[in-house]
Amino acid sequence: MSHFQAESQPPLTLGLNFLIELFHPSHDLGPLVINYLTDADQLRLATTCKSLRALVVPLYKLTIPNCMQRTHEPSLVDFVQRYHPRVWSISPDFEDLNDHRAEEVRRFLGQLRKADSVFLDVNSVSHWSQTFDYLKELFQPPRRLSLSIDMGPNPSVSNGQAAFPDHRVASMKRWFTFIRDLQLSFYADHDQSSLLSQLLPLFAGVKHLVVDGDISPSNLIPELAESFNQLTHLTLTTPFNIAPLFDSHCIALQNIRSLDLYCPDDQPTLRAISSMSSTRYPHLYELSLFFGGERSDRNEVKWTDFRPFFDQPWPNLTRLTLQRCEVGGGEVGEYLATNFSNLRFLSFSNFSGSADALACILIHCSRLTTFHGIITSQNALQSLLDSEFTNSALQSLILDGAECNWDELSHLMARFPNLRHLTIAFENGDLYGHARQQYPNVIFGQSPLMPFYT
């Protein structure tokens, strides 16, 4: 009997009934469980019984590894031949395979229904072309594509000529036009402008874009601003000149909902952020800005450097994160309380506000459920404790750098009766244990006490 051939089906046991209920599509528990199962465990689960197989196979997140080493395993081959599962992620690499082995891998992949996510590590134009030919033949276009560009110097690329002939570009465009989630990683140490000029326009339908790696191609942002008009989520983890994205004629961000940007700490960038308005970006609900660049002093960038951003209503913004940016003064609390009325999540990596600023935020941002701040003044915590108020919405409070004793903790808990998570530096170790006993419904985290900045 085959390793994956099930015997006659026994009556459903209590355990099987539980599994069938767990993976029922009426709720989201099944996909969460699948996330923690190995490939082998997923395969075993599908062979438990027919009733369960119909529920779990559509949830599979099998990962076919680099060079397809596991196609040598008879159990995996047998399972694929029987059930043709959808593959969650595939990282094909045909470059080092001989013709016989490549054909074996192609037959194996041909029995998979559809790849939801594809990872391509592009280190040469020829490698890219060969891999793409296999994917185009075997799979429907995936929704997600991770493209790692780590190409050595190539005469056809580095001298400004086109990396691909026109017929190749047209073929790729027909396949890539269906991709909605794209991750670009750059690890080359030389100019890739001509390659990007050909590749980026192929992904005009992308809605979620993540760009990371060790380098920042100079023409990526201009190409992005010109080619993309359906973006809803954009993440840049390396510093780019982002100013062109905020130009009044740029349509790349017209539908943007989430921005997570590594921002150079220069004047063009700060002016670009200052120019943002809720009327131009009416769908923006999440904004995260990480400042870094030539200036190494963490206090160089201040919220006042882009004050116009704060001095206007942002009724749809629910999540705001500022990292390596000094947020200080009572005025910022007034701006947040007045213009960011629907904030649910707020995070500052350097909160050096006046004694009243922290209290102003937590009192008046009435819908805030999570606040995370690095507190650089103990007076800010004391002002919060001295204020007479109750905030029933806040559920998670992280105050890195602040220290409290038992009386201060009791006052803090009284201010936030529905708090479920608190991270703060306790005066001593015994206080941590006492707090867990006194407030069993609250998860306590111990924050390191950070030095105060003057």
268-315 pLDDT per residue, tens: 999 999 999 999 999 999 999 999 865 545 556 889 999 999 999 999
* pTM across the whole model: 0.79
Mean pLDDT of the chain: 78
Residue 333 has pLDDT above 60, yes or no: yes
- pLDDT at residue 393, as a whole number: 93
Q: What is the pLDDT of residues 29-64, one digit of tens each?
A: 777 787 777 766 777 777 777 777 777 776 766 666
Q: Is residue 1 predicted with pLDDT exceeding 50? A: no
Q: What percent of the chain shows pLDDT beyond 90?
A: 20
Band (pLDDT 50/70/90 cuts) for residue 433 is confident
CATH of range 274-454; options 3.40.50.1240, 1.10.760.10, 3.30.470.10, 3.80.10.10: 3.80.10.10
pLDDT per residue as tens digits for the range 155-195? 444 444 556 777 778 888 888 888 899 888 877 656 666 77
Report pLDDT for 91. 66
Domain ranges (residues) in the chain: 114-256, 274-454
Alpha-carbon distance of 73 to 91, in angstroms, equals 18
